[in-house]
Amino acid sequence: MTTKLLYGNLIAKEIRNEISKIIEKEILNKDKRIPHLGIILTGNNSSSITYVNNKIKECKNIGIKYSLIHLPINSLENELLEEIKKMNKNPHIDGFIVQFPLEKNINQDKIILSINPKKDVDGFHPENFGKMALDIKTFFPATALGILTLLERYKIKISGKYTVIIGRSRIVGRPISILMSRKSNFGNSTVTLTHSKTPNIEYYTKQADIIIVAVGIPGFLKGEMIKKGAIVIDVGIHSNEKKILGDVDFYSVYGKASYLTPVPGGVGPMTRVMLLKNTLMAALNNRQKDK
């Protein structure tokens, strides 16, 4: 079977252009105050540093202002809470993120709860997560929103389809399970959320029309675990000395799936552009509030 690749990098480019136009028309033409994203990075996890550098590159490309606070390894929870407080109060910051994972000595729940929900462009605060679950407009987590948008732009119907998600993380698995199943124009999928304690995951994946893999294990989903014509979304990104791999075993799935996201160039660029979209939304909300 011919497998079509879902090029997140091309769709992200399209969306970047749309965001640029809105910034120009709705913001720069009016009050000249450029949208401003805050980023707090802790420690020296090399993947986090790469992710943050890529987010900064996106901001620079599109002309969104950014401020980076990089706290050194072994910083205390209080020091991070102090930086969050400053971002919450700073009227020039439209929205901000704290890059995860955090070091072991820092309580992630406490951090998420301390972020002002109106500036929570990651959509991780319970107020925003709850709104998402209730179908109320708010910031949606970027990767989940990116996957949904990628499917939508490629005109892949999800309504009535059976979706299996592998991985229940707060960042990807759980939010995408909510968004795929919601009662909305682009939703209405029947969803099973599988995870590390699900026995016989292939029992589910073999029946799935759409499979979203966010399990953090390189090459986890093999061709033999899917039905012919399945749509496969690979959220994983792992690099070894030779190449970058996803959570999908690309060569056994390619030729059996109808659509597949490449790694790199699939979900990653969509995640980054959705962060810009959320930042734009925060900036527009702020300017509305100032009127």
Residues lying near ligand GUN in the complex (CB under 6 A) are found at 97-100, 122, 142-143, 171, 271
In the complex, least distance from residue 168 CB atom to ligand GUN, rounded to whole angstroms = 15
Q: Which is nearer to ligand GUN, 77 or 202 (CB)?
A: 77
> What is the distance between the alpha carbons of residues 8 and 149, in angstroms, rounded to a whole number?
10
In the complex, least distance from residue 256 CB atom to ligand GUN, rounded to whole angstroms = 28
Q: Which is nearer to ligand GUN, 55 or 256 (CB)?
A: 55
CB burial of residue 56 (10 Å; 0-12, 13-18, 19+): middle
> What is the distance between the alpha carbons of residues 92 and 50, in angstroms, rounded to a whole number?
25
In the chain, alpha helices (H): 8-22, 46-62, 77-89, 108-114, 126-133, 142-153, 173-181, 201-205, 250-253, 267-290
Residue nearest to ligand GUN (CB): 100
In the complex, least distance from residue 122 CB atom to ligand GUN, rounded to whole angstroms = 5
Active-site residue, from 94, 120, 122, 209: 122
Q: Coil, helix or strand for 229? A: coil
Q: Is position 209 annotated as part of the catalytic site?
A: no
Q: Which is nearer to ligand GUN, 125 or 182 (CB)?
A: 125
Cβ atoms of 286 and 94 within 8 Å: the answer is: yes
In the complex, least distance from residue 104 CB atom to ligand GUN, rounded to whole angstroms = 16
> What is the distance between the alpha carbons of residues 136 and 123, in angstroms, rounded to a whole number?
12
For residue 72, the one-letter residue type is P
> What is the distance between the alpha carbons of residues 7 and 47, in angstroms, rounded to a whole number?
22
Cβ atoms of 38 and 87 within 8 Å: the answer is: yes
> What is the distance between the alpha carbons of residues 234 and 253, in angstroms, rounded to a whole number?
11
Q: Which is nearer to ligand GUN, 83 or 122 (CB)?
A: 122
Compute how many other C-beta atoms are within 10 angstroms of the C-beta atom of residue 100: 17
Q: Which is nearer to ligand GUN, 11 or 208 (CB)?
A: 11
Question: What's the Rg (C-alpha) of the chain?
Answer: 19
In the complex, least distance from residue 275 CB atom to ligand GUN, rounded to whole angstroms = 7
Q: Which is nearer to ligand GUN, 274 or 283 (CB)?
A: 274
Q: Is position 55 annotated as part of the catalytic site?
A: yes
How is 19-62 classified by DSSP, letter by letter?
HHHHIIIIIITTT----EEEEEEETT-HHHHHHHHHHHHHHHHH
Q: Which two tokens stand for residue 64?
A: 């969104």
In the complex, least distance from residue 108 CB atom to ligand GUN, rounded to whole angstroms = 10
Q: Is position 288 annotated as part of the catalytic site?
A: no
- Residues tagged active-site: 55, 99, 122
